[in-house]
Homo-oligomer: A and B are copies of this chain.
Amino acid sequence: MHENQISPSEWEIMRVVWTTHPITSKEINDILKEKKEWKLATTKTLIGRLVKKGLLSTEQKGRKYEYSPLVSEKESIDESIDDLLDQMCDTKVGRSVETILEKSVVSKSDLERLEALIEKKKADAPKEVKCTCTPGQCSCVH
């Protein structure tokens, strides 16, 4: 599990800051008013936690602060993906990708890039993926 996990509520904040920064707590709260019924105090608590976790930086501007991200959205998403993959047997990843693809709308160019990637992977894809699970935690034969 990754340390400094970003909780679901904290993600809401991070997404705002990734989109616009530097940004103040008030501005963050205004944007989130649309989606969450949070008191300003709630937003501030979450911001404080993110600062403490080292995920947001602060810069004092007069009597207020402006916040900026210290981690990128891509790396954060990638960590979430890692955590997801860590909880399933390697042999199930292919099926899961299929599931994601089935339930999502992706663009033509996404599909083209994926197709190219698949073509490339075909070269050295194994016939069967090797399972590395602890014996008893998946049905693969060990």
Interface on A for B, CB 8 Å cutoff?
Answer: 1, 8, 11-12, 15-16, 19-20, 31-32, 34-35, 77-78, 80-81, 83-85, 87-88, 90-111, 113-115, 117-118, 121-122, 125-130, 133-139
Q: Which residue of B lies closest to A20 (CB)?
A: B136
A-B contact pairs, 25 of them (CB 8 A): A11-B87, A12-B137, A15-B133, A19-B136, A35-B137, A78-B99, A80-B84, A81-B84, A90-B105, A93-B100, A94-B107, A94-B109, A94-B110, A94-B111, A94-B114, A97-B104, A101-B114, A101-B118, A102-B117, A105-B125, A105-B126, A107-B129, A109-B127, A111-B121, A111-B122
Known: A107-B129, A126-B107. A8 touches B87 (CB 8 A): yes
Q: How far is the CA of A96 from the CA of B136 in the complex (A)?
A: 30
Flag if B87 contacts A80 (CB, 8 Å): yes
Q: How far is the CA of A108 from the CA of B128 in the complex (A)?
A: 7
